[in-house]
Amino acid sequence: MLNIVLFGPPGAGKGTQAVKLVNKYNLVHLSTGDIFRANIKGETALGKLAKSYMDKGNLVPDQVTISMLEAEVDKNPKANGFIFDGFPRTTPQAEALDKFLSSKNTTITKMLALDVENDELIKRLLERGKDSGRADDLDTAIIANRIKVYNEQTAVVADFYAAQNKFEKIYGVGSVEEIFNRLCKAIDKQIVSN
């Protein structure tokens, strides 16, 4: 199986690139942000809970997020592999994912981390906020909080995968196609060496 964690700060382009990668490598795309937004739209209990955190730019609690993600993996028993987009975002999430995948005799192949400077992230998110309808993209204070949360709680997840020799940084500025080619090069190199 090819299991990729697509990593990076808010607005780094994880969602944008994940859609292209799943097509090329025939993988299942699991975006925790998208699943939460679908629940918000459907006005489920999970959606109501998630919204109260997401609208402020905070993380949804680990146990809720982990259970939801595991249920989504279980819905796809025949998958060739997964792109985990926006998950794991904390060390407990990374530990839970490792344990869960190993119970299925598989593992994370690689973490690809999109590297984008803060000014560019803020510019992209505000631009998306003009028509995304996402409360967390509209306000510079909420965007600043998302970046702070990333630096304080999420950035360390890179160390978790670096310790397993699975971490690779990919420069995330340029055209969508240029960045996609950089990601594909890293994945193809990994496939050849496996």
Residues of this chain that bind ligand B4P (CB under 6 A): 8, 10-16, 32-33, 36, 53-54, 57-60, 65, 86-87, 89, 93, 124, 128, 136, 146, 176, 179
Rounded to an integer, what distance in angstroms lies between the CA atom of residue 38 and that of residue 32?
10
Cβ atoms within 10 Å of 18's Cβ, excluding its own: 22
Tokens in use for 60?
């949804």
- Residue (151 or 191) nearer to ligand B4P, CB: 151
Cβ closest to ligand B4P, residue 69 vs residue 78: 69
Q: Considering the complex, state which of residue 2 and residue 179 has its C-beta at the smaller distance from ligand B4P.
A: 179
Which residues lie closer than 8 Å to 105 by C-beta, 6 or more apart? none
Q: How far is the CB of 192 from ligand B4P (least distance, A)?
A: 26
Omega into 77 within 30° of 0, i.e. cis? no
Cα 33 to Cα 147: distance, rounded to the nearest angstrom: 15
To the nearest whole angstrom, how small is the minimum distance from the Cβ of residue 43 to ligand B4P? 17
Query: Strand locations in the chain, DSSP E?
Result: 2-7, 28-31, 81-85, 110-115, 167-171
Provide the minimum distance between the beta carbon of 111 and ligand B4P in the complex, in angstroms, as a whole number: 14
Write down the least CB distance from residue 143 to ligand B4P, Å.
9
Residues with catalytic annotation?
Answer: 14, 89, 128, 134, 146
Nearer CB in complex with ligand B4P: 109/154? 154
